[in-house]
Structure 1
Amino acid sequence: MQTKQKIKGMSVLQGKDDIFLDLKQKFWNTYKSGLMYWPFVQLTNFSLVPVHWRTAYTGLCGFLWATFLCFSQQSGDGTVKSVFILFRRKEASDRPPEE
């Protein structure tokens, strides 16, 4: 529910004509990505991370998730695959041209 409100709010602030377009295009992909990400995070949190590091670990994972959401809002489609495509594109553009 919170993701829906953020997408709609950003569309209003950006002055878009159809404020629900991003929601229609990205919500289900983002929701499914979250269903893959958060259970893994919590599984590792409660099985591998020592008690005194759990809050910091969850905070770091929340920061990574927020970064993913920001990327998805700007140029992604709500899937993790789009992030890896971006990394490959940047990696290819950083290489010097071959002669």
Structure 2
Amino acid sequence: VRHKNRMSILQGQDDIFLDLKQKFWNTYKSGLMYWPFVQLTNFSLIPVHWRTAYTGLCGFLWATFLCFSQQTGDGTLKSAFILLRTKAAGAVERPPEK
């Protein structure tokens, strides 16, 4: 929470709590969907010697999502998937540059 407030101050926003008010619950609910799934797979499917690396990778993906949400998203996983699908479709439609 403090990090978001510092970013709002540094960005010169009038209401430094606006982003928090708009995205907190969506981000919190996304985390409640993401992390239990990560830990379920971690303890049921991942071998013991790979668990730290797997959790680190999942943490990196979560941090990437948080950065995306801070910039353009609304704090939901759905918005991230829509953006990824849109960018992937744009990459397929665009001819390769020479």
Specify the alignment match of 2:5 in structure 1: 8
The code of the aligned residue for 1:93 comes to: G
Aligned residues: 94
Q: Alignment partner for residue 82 of structure 2, among 82, 85, 97?
A: 85
Q: Point out 4+ residue stretches in structure 1 off by more than 2 angstroms.
A: 91-94
In structure 1, stretches of 5+ residues that fail to align are none
Q: Alignment partner for residue 14 of structure 2, among 7, 13, 17?
A: 17
Specify the alignment match of 1:42 in structure 2: 39
Kindly provide the CA deviation profile for residues 34-71 of structure 1, in whole angstroms up to 9, marking residues without a partner as x. Answer: 00000011111111111111110000000000000000
In structure 2, stretches of 5+ residues that fail to align are none
**Secondary structure of 2:39's aligned partner:** helix
Distance 1:96 1:65 in 2: 29
Kindly provide the CA deviation profile for residues 53-93 of structure 1, in whole angstroms up to 9, marking residues without a partner as x. Answer: 11100000000000000000000000011011112221332
Specify the alignment match of 1:62 in structure 2: 59
**Secondary structure of 2:58's aligned partner:** helix
Q: TM-score normalised to the size of structure 1?
A: 0.88
Q: TM-score normalised to the size of structure 2?
A: 0.89
CA RMSD for the aligned pairs? 1.3
Q: Alignment partner for residue 73 of structure 2, among 56, 76, 81?
A: 76
